[in-house]
Chain A
Amino acid sequence: MLTYTLRRLLAAIPTLLLISLVIFLLVDMAPGSPLSEIPLTVPPEVRQKMIAAMGADQPVMVRYVLWLKQFFWIEPLYGIDALLGTDFAQGAQRIISWQSKMPVFRIIGERLPQTLTVVGTAYLIGILIALPIGIYSAYRQYSWFDQAGTFFAMAGFSVPTFFTGNVLILVFAVKLGWFPTIYDTNLKVTDFASFYKMVMQMALPVTVLALFNAAEISRYTRSSVLENLGQDYVRTARAKGMGEKVVVLKHVLRNSLIPVVTVIALGLPTVFGGAIVTENIFKINGIGAALIGAIHVSDLPTVQTVTFIFAVLIVLFNLIADILYGILDPRIRYD
């Protein structure tokens, strides 16, 4: 397992390099200028100097290699320095946002916790809802519970989050006034009152994302459990006199989880993508909102870096899914 993991990590390096190149070129080719926010009254020679100051006048390959060096070498050094209080980076040039002139990683560091809180909670709740629903739907196939579950899963999966999000805001925040419309990023949880406020402001975005995730995962769980319920080993377990709880929650579930875990692991990175939309609707100042903001003003370094981090996450969770597969299914051994 360890050698397999190491081998996969090594194999990920060329993949990620290629992805980074494609992202870099694609983003670079996109129309737009980093100076679009600068007033037109600024004279051309000043504009020229501003572009040169950002390094945007360099050829794309030079910028790419510089970005690679900054991403894989200098930024990690800053990371180590921040953790251990050392000074390896020695003030080397970091990846700087063209928009805010701040290091991109500092922006990420500020924005990521919001995203993780909302998206992470939503995904966790989504899984916790989806697994029992999927299992029970399969166990009582074609029951009214199953029919209802199927209906909500179809609805939850086919209605996009930007629609459900707006509907929820309209109904529960605007009309009923139960929840705040704005997500307060600066809110710190210190006591029960602030915790309550946090829960209230998270409720709507988490609901939207959790429903969407639960819809997908519950369907996978249902079909996987259904497939396994018909297997011979289930009959064996019953013939041994095992109770239905043991039959379903031990024998069937362990087998059914194998494909479901893959879906969960592979779905996690795409949740970040889905969160971009939700963050914008609920005005959550997260990483997705930062990305959208950066795209609007052609802040190429930020767009490239954040997009590449998403790519890294996808590759990483692919690997995690494969390793989990091997842990859950003894027939799969990676040596």
Chain B
Amino acid sequence: MPDGAVPVLDVRGLKTVFRTRAGEIHAVNSVSFHLKPGELLGVVGESGSGKSVTMMSLIGLLPSPPAEVRAGQVLLAGRDLLKVDAAELRQVRGAKIGFVFQDPMTSLNPVFTVGNQIMEPLLTHKGMTKAQARDRAVELLELVGIPDAAKRLKSYPHQFSGGMRQRVMIAIALACDPDVLIADEPTTALDVTIQAQILELVKELRQKLGMAIIWITHDLGVIAAIADRVMVMYGGQVVEHAPVKELFAHPQHPYTRALLKTIPSIHGARASRLQVIEGQPPILMAEPTSCPFRARCAHALEVCAHQNPLRHPVDSAALGLGHDVACHWSAQSAEVAHA
């Protein structure tokens, strides 16, 4: 994709908090990112890093209360989704932005037929007649690789396997030809062979339909296989962002480096134990004024305790364009210092 292309989705300074009895939890802190047409952006981070909450904030999917999107802009084709009213936002959900969730076993309504659930957004957003919607539903099921599609429309979700249900979820998300598909850990609940099938399917659909995709996962292997760019999240903020090859080759943030080390290798001796990142991700009761990773960081500096690092471009000519990191410590300077 050309680098100068106008982004389909541009998120700036998004802040989301949850109001609880114990106080406010700052789940998303000034997250900014953009998505170019046809691009696949991978979002990684451990559980509780704010990946899902960020994406759900974009289209108002978080229950409010307790969630509250406090600041930011979500520009979809120039329109700020945080400013539009509920009815207009509904027109975006399902029509412009499709969502695929983690657990296909519970994400479909058990008492309605699969056909009914696929046709629903078509009838609502596209104003199709029932017959048109049915034809389109058959088309969609065929597109996601479900055989005997016309017959399967009358089936209920429990008559499908997990992988098949995730295909149905994808069909629903794609029903209205969205510009953006947000996939929230769509393969996490599936076993490995089915995961591979779903990944293949998404790659293929991307080529056919050309929509932009945001893929949330904590599986770096999946990211390596499909993403164009990667955004690493920690403590509700973006800590590193780079094209996928660049990120795997030159990880900058200590958290990213630690994450990459946790990938078990099937090569070489089996002597080494599985690598882990010690400690727990923070629960942010206030907007962070220090680096949220500090407590678990091997390279923590003094400045990290009283200043939350901002994202800044990685300033080496050797490193690729569009790589930025939010860290006071710098891998290069450390390496230079060692040498």
Residues of A participating in the B interface, judged by any CB pair closer than 8 Å: 231-233, 235-243, 246, 251, 254-255, 258, 328-331
Contact A331 to B93, CB < 8 A, known contacts A236-B169, A240-B120: no
User: Does B322 count as interface, using CB distance less than 8 angstroms?
Assistant: no
Question: Least Cβ distance of A236 to chain B in Å?
Answer: 5
Residue of A nearest to B182 (CB): A239
Contact A237 to B109, CB < 8 A, known contacts A242-B120, A242-B124, A330-B158: yes
Quick check: B156 and A239 within 8 Å, CB to CB? no
Quick check: B61 and A239 within 8 Å, CB to CB? yes
Closest 5 CB pairs of A and B: A241-B94, A239-B99, A241-B93, A240-B94, A232-B106
Instruction: List the A side residues contacting B113 at CB < 8 Å.
Output: 330
Quick check: A254 and B94 within 8 Å, CB to CB? no
Taken residue by residue from 228 to 251, chain B's Cβ proximity to chain A (1 for < 8 Å, 0 otherwise) reads as 000000000000000000000000
Question: Least Cβ distance of B158 to chain A in Å?
Answer: 5
Taken residue by residue from 114 to 132, chain B's Cβ proximity to chain A (1 for < 8 Å, 0 otherwise) reads as 0000001100110000000
Interface majority SS (helix, strand, loop, mixed), chain A: helix
Quick check: B156 and A330 within 8 Å, CB to CB? yes
Quick check: B111 and A243 within 8 Å, CB to CB? no
Question: Least Cβ distance of B63 to chain A in Å?
Answer: 9
A308 to B18, CA, bound (A): 58
Quick check: B101 and A232 within 8 Å, CB to CB? yes
Question: Least Cβ distance of B6 to chain A in Å?
Answer: 24
Question: Least Cβ distance of A85 to chain B in Å?
Answer: 47
Taken residue by residue from 71 to 115, chain B's Cβ proximity to chain A (1 for < 8 Å, 0 otherwise) reads as 000000000000000010011111100110101001111111100
Contact A233 to B61, CB < 8 A, known contacts A241-B90, A241-B95: no
Residue of B nearest to A329 (CB): B111
Instruction: List the A side residues contacting B111 at CB < 8 Å.
Output: 254-255, 258, 328-330
Contact A236 to B107, CB < 8 A, known contacts A241-B121, A242-B120, A331-B156: yes
Instruction: List the B side residues contacting A232 at CB < 8 Å.
Output: 101, 103, 106-107
Instruction: List the B side residues contacting A240 at CB < 8 Å.
Output: 93-94, 120-121, 124, 172
Instruction: List the B side residues contacting A235 at CB < 8 Å.
Output: 61, 101, 107
Q: Identify which of A238, A254, A255, A330 contacts B93 (C-beta below 8 A).
A: A238
**Most chain A beta-carbon neighbours within 10 Å: one of B92, B99, B113:** B99
User: Does B59 count as interface, using CB distance less than 8 angstroms?
Assistant: yes
Instruction: List the A side residues contacting B120 at CB < 8 Å.
Output: 237, 240, 242, 246
Contact A233 to B109, CB < 8 A, known contacts A240-B121, A240-B172, A241-B125: yes
A235 to B99, CA, bound (A): 10
Contact A241 to B158, CB < 8 A, known contacts A233-B110, A329-B111, A330-B111: no
Instruction: List the A side residues contacting B156 at CB < 8 Å.
Output: 330-331
Q: Identify which of B98, B112, B121 contacts A254 (C-beta below 8 A).
A: B112
A246 to B124, CA, bound (A): 10
Instruction: List the A side residues contacting B101 at CB < 8 Å.
Output: 232, 235-236, 239
A148 to B108, CA, bound (A): 34
Quick check: A239 and B110 within 8 Å, CB to CB? no
A282 to B148, CA, bound (A): 63
A241 to B173, CA, bound (A): 11
Q: Identify which of B90, B103, B109, B158 contacts A243 (C-beta below 8 A).
A: B90
Chain A to chain B contacts (Cβ below 8 Å), 25 pairs:
A233-B109, A233-B110, A235-B61, A235-B107, A236-B99, A236-B108, A236-B169, A239-B61, A239-B93, A239-B99, A240-B93, A240-B94, A240-B120, A241-B90, A241-B93, A241-B124, A241-B125, A242-B94, A242-B124, A254-B111, A255-B109, A255-B111, A328-B111, A329-B111, A331-B156
Quick check: B110 and A255 within 8 Å, CB to CB? yes
Quick check: B91 and A241 within 8 Å, CB to CB? yes
Question: Least Cβ distance of B330 to chain A in Å?
Answer: 40
Question: Least Cβ distance of B64 to chain A in Å?
Answer: 12
Beyond A241-B91, A241-B94, A242-B94, 14 additional contacts (C-beta under 8 Å) are A233-B106, A233-B107, A233-B110, A235-B101, A236-B107, A239-B61, A239-B99, A239-B101, A240-B93, A240-B124, A246-B124, A251-B109, A255-B109, A329-B111
Instruction: List the B side residues contacting A258 at CB < 8 Å.
Output: 111
Instruction: List the B side residues contacting A255 at CB < 8 Å.
Output: 109-111
A123 to B91, CA, bound (A): 41
Instruction: List the A side residues contacting B121 at CB < 8 Å.
Output: 240-242
Instruction: List the A side residues contacting B112 at CB < 8 Å.
Output: 251, 254
A246 to B90, CA, bound (A): 12
Instruction: List the A side residues contacting B61 at CB < 8 Å.
Output: 235, 238-239
Question: Least Cβ distance of A127 to chain B in Å?
Answer: 20
A240 to B107, CA, bound (A): 12
Instruction: List the B side residues contacting A331 at CB < 8 Å.
Output: 110, 156, 158
A154 to B101, CA, bound (A): 39
